[in-house]
Amino acid sequence: MSYRSVFKPDLFAGQNIIVTGGGSGIGRCTAHELASLGARVVLVGRKQEKLDNVAAEIEEDGGQAIGFACDIRDEEVVKATVAEIYKAV
């Protein structure tokens, strides 16, 4: 049996949603779910390669995603990344 969300398919249509830790684990699963509900997912994590892989998975499934490498423990890096995200989306 394939997975189906309990939420309305276009619940987040037209919205950009940031997912921290989106390169693996719960963040990756959350990103896939949000994309399946119409969101453009902005993946944030420490390793660009992982983010790119998840973005490719989401796009292969028909969703939209973009990844930004960022160590959320560093406030200045977070500020710079947020500025990059605003320019990109």
**Can you say whether residue 67 is alpha, beta or left, with left for phi > 0 and alpha for psi between -120 and 50 degrees?**
beta
Domain count, the chain: 1
pTM: 0.90
Its domain, for residue 73, covers 16-88
CA 4 – CA 14 distance, rounded (Å)? 21
φ, ψ of residue 33 to 5 degrees: the values are -65, -45
Residue 3 domain-assigned (yes or no): no
Q: How does residue 4 score in pLDDT terms, banded at 50, 70 and 90?
A: confident
At residue 6, the pLDDT reads 87
CA 28 – CA 84 distance, rounded (Å)? 21
CATH of the domain at 50: 3.40.50.720
Q: How far apart, in Å, do the first and last CA atoms of the chain sit? A: 35
Is the CB of residue 70 less than 8 Å from the CB of residue 81?
yes
pLDDT in tens, 12-70: 999 999 999 999 999 999 999 999 999 999 999 999 999 999 999 999 999 999 999 99
How many other CB atoms are there within 10 angstroms of residue 68's CB atom? 18
Residue 83 domain-assigned (yes or no): yes
